[in-house]
Copies of this chain bind each other. A is one copy, B any other.
Amino acid sequence: MILELADIRIKPGQQAAFEAAVKHGIGTLVSTSPGFISYTMNHCIETPERYVLLLQWDTLEAHSVTFRESALFPQWRAIVGPFFAGPPVVEHFNRVG
């Protein structure tokens, strides 16, 4: 199992719409991709335009190949991309403790 950490800055004042878009997009698109396990959406207290999405996947490939090269990925980005203030920073992690 691996953790995807997506560090996102959105345009000011769009928090509620962005949160609804993420819930809709993960619920209807991302979560249907093989190897998706679960996610949390986390809203930054100090920086109100910052969100961190933490997604659990079976394997690195489940996210970086199966999902990202599928038709789901552009649909997901069409839903959440308009809120982004810049490119999200996405990396993957192994839990070590």
Binding site for B on A (CB under 8 A): 2-3, 5, 19, 22-23, 39-47, 50, 52, 54, 60, 91-97
- Cβ-defined contact, B52 with A22, below 8 A: no
A and B contact pairs by CB, cutoff 8 A, 6 listed: A22-B97, A41-B97, A43-B96, A44-B91, A44-B92, A50-B91
Q: Can you name the residue of chain B whose Cβ is closest to the Cβ of A46?
A: B91
Q: How many copies does the complex hold?
A: 2
**Contacts known (A19-B97, A96-B19); A91 close to B45, Cβ less than 8 A:** yes
Q: Which residues of B contact A22 (CB under 8 A)?
A: 97
For chain A, what secondary structure do more than half of its interface residues adopt (helix, strand, loop), or is it mixed? strand
Complex formed: what's the CA distance from A51 to B64 in Å? Answer: 20
Complex formed: what's the CA distance from A51 to B23 in Å? Answer: 27
Residue from the set A41, A45, A60, A94 with the largest chain B CB neighbour count within 10 Å: A45
- Cβ-defined contact, B42 with A93, below 8 A: yes
